[in-house]
Every structure is written in C-alpha cells, then in structure tokens.
Amino acid sequence: MTRSNSHILRLDSSAPDFTERLDALLSRETDTGADVQELVAGILTDVKRRGDAALYEYTSRFDGWNCNADEMLITRERMRQAWQAVSDTDREALELATQRIRAYHKHQLQQDWEFTDEAGLTLGQRITPLDRVGLYVPGGKAAYPSSVLMNAVPAVVAGVEEIVMVVPTPGGEMNELVLAAAYISGVQRGFAVGGAQAVAALAYGTESIPAVDKIVGPGNKFVAAAKRQVFGTCGIDMIAGPSEIVVVADGGNPAWIAADFLSQAEHDEAAQSILISTDARLLDQVAESIEAHLQVLPRAAIARASVETHGALIHVHNDDEAAFAVNRIAPEHLELALEDPDALLPKIRHAGAILIGHFVPEALGDYIAGPNHVLPTNRTARFSSPLGVYDFQKRSSVIRASRTGVEAIGPAAAHLAHREGLQAHALTLELRLKDGA
C-alpha cells in the first residue's frame, strides 16, 4: 500500500492483503459516537417536554438568532415570494429539474392488485400514501435546493397530503433558492429550525410544528443520530452518511475523471472518492489532474482533506476484480466511465446510483437527470435503495374469503394454531367451520 505524489492512497488488487486494506479504508468513523448520541438524546427529550420553548433556545444557541413562532414559520406565501425573487435562470433550472424528477418518479407508483386462488380466497394488496411527511433540508456548509426537489417531488407523486419542511437558518438568514425550490416542489409550509431539535419537533410535534409520519432528508451527524433515535415514533428514510463516489475507468479524459473524483470530495472532509482502473498509467494521469483541479477549486481545502484522508486509487487487473471491489464498497454513486460499460454492469450488485458512460458525471444525476439523489451510503447499498415514491406509500394486505374458502384451508390453520398453543386462535376458525354456522 503506497501513496501517490498527490498523497492519495494507492491499492493494488493483486496484493495478498488487498481485501483487508480495502475494508480498512471503508471503515471510516462516519457515524455518531456515544457522546453525540447522549447529547442528541438530551435534546430530543427536552423538545418533547418543552416544545417550542426548547426550539427557540436551541436556535439561539446553535444558529445565533432569537426566533419566535411567527419568525420560525415559513409560509407558502413566503416561498412564493422567494420564487418570484430568484432569477429567471434559477426558475428555469428548477422547473426543468422538477419536471424531470416528477416524470421519472411517476414510473415508481405502485398499484392495488388482487387475485383469486384455487381455494376461492381473493388476496390482494392496497396502496395508500402517508398523511404527512417532514423534510429535513441541510443548511450548514452549503444550501441544497436540489435536496428539496428530490425529497418533496416523490412525496407529491405518491399522494402525500402534507409536506412540512425544516431548514436551519444560521444567523436567521433564509436561502431564497431553497425556499423557491420548496415552492415549486409542493411543500405546504416550513420552519426555520434545524439540527436534532428539528428532528425532535417533527417526530413528537410542538405547539407550532406538527408531528409527521416519516422524516426524510440528509443532515449532519447530529441529525443522523436524532433520526436513528426517533425511529419507531415515526418512520425515517435512511441514516445518511458522508457522500461517496466510485469511478471505474479504462480510458477517457483524465481531467474529466479527476473532476468526477472530486465532485463528492468537495461536500465535506469525511466524503470518500475512489477510482478503480485496469490502467495504472491512467491512475497516474488522474492523480496529476486531481492536483491541478485542487489548485483552482473554491472548496479545495475541503476536497483535499477528503481525498487525502479517505480517497484511493485502485489498480485492478480485469473486470472481475473491478466488480469485486465495487461490490465490496457498495458505493452511493458509481460511475462506469468505460468503453464497454455493459460488460461490467451485470456483475454490479451493490450501488445506489449507477451512471453509465463517459458523458454521465455524477452531477447530472444530482440535479437534472430525474432519478433520486438521496442514496444509501456507508455500504448500505447492500440492502437499501434510493429514495423514491415507494418511501411515501404503504402497503396493506387484503384477504377476502367465503365459507367455502375457509372450509378449504381453515382446518390447517386451526391445526397450526393448536400446535402453537393458541386455542382462541383455533376457536375463531372452528366456530366458523361448524355445520349451520
């Protein structure tokens, strides 16, 4: 294991300890330690007990401004004013993104279904939307109107009746583009509060903020810890960790690949960027281009800390080794910048979003392509999926049966109930099976 001239870790899949080294790279300290969990637990309890009063105090402490119920509320009219205030170019971009996100997510709508089996029972599934969801919008190191669109639009498509947004406002300053995105995407009302206290308000409800059925949207480690702790009181989408990207390349423009590599690194110092290639010379060229980009990018200090602490350039020797590495990493974003990406694609089992070809950088998916950019991180793509309409819909099973149907299968059910020692269960069936019932 060596480091390049750009101080980025280099790994080789032929090394006997490659898997061990890769696993060590992936075992970042990205989740919340006991100190954060304890702090968050205290905030949750406080907001649950004192409601708005606790929110005002935490907003003053963490965001540096004194608010009240009126100042905390972001009305639909305030969002409309922001929509009118942003530039024509802003509105056009938000409109196009909203249209494309809506069009994609309409394909995810689930439908009711039924069938009648050989015993005469009609079995089915009924789909219903959630009543109210809470959307957490990050507002720390950067503001993300795209996150508003990606969370709110699928909820609207799913048929959610009410979408409530919370967003931190350091110094009391509202981000107009975030409010404009909330307006066009269908958010009914918002609140200028963030952090674990906002998650608590959404989960438990306060005098001003209604309790929701599900909380969606990414945040910092305090938000992640709060979402983890309120799960069960309400639903959550996922525990979001730092951003990740894996680029698999066998050629192409090193400057393009280097930019893609850095696209997630600029989010924060804990983000992870990995390049995998069968071409060792390409790895060297990309490393040089990464350094060149870091000389001019505005967020270069953040990106450099990310790639030098968590990044890697991995030399593999064939597609099977590339696929092994990708599936081991289970990345949030996966770019297949390959001449024949469809040769590798069937071997990929674990990835949040797969971007195929040299002309599909991760940023295209982040903003405008249509699929959701809220994706599983921290290797959870092994068992999780991108946010979608299905996160805002519930499934209820439906069973219809006549006496004939119960006669066909009821005796077996009663037998199993007796075997489990649940005689009342069995009795419910046996009474219905009696002659003349």
- The catalytic residues are 332-333
Give the whole-angstrom CA distance, residue 249 versus residue 125: 44
Q: Which residues contact 390 (CB under 8 A, 6 or more apart)?
A: 108, 110, 158
Give the whole-angstrom CA distance, residue 415 versus residue 411: 6
Give the whole-angstrom CA distance, residue 276 versus residue 270: 20
Contact (CB, 8 A) for 358 and 252: yes
Q: What SS3 state is found at 191? A: strand
**How many other CB atoms are found less than 10 A from the CB of residue 39?**
15
From the CA atom positions of the chain, what is the Rg in Å?
25
Question: In degrees rounded to 5, what are phi and psi of residue 122?
Answer: -100, 120
Contact (CB, 8 A) for 371 and 385: no
Q: What SS3 state is found at 392? A: helix
Virtual CA dihedral for 14, 17, 19, 20, nearest 10 degrees? -160
What does each C-alpha distance from 114 to 51, 123, 148, 189 come to in angstroms? Answer: 45, 5, 35, 37
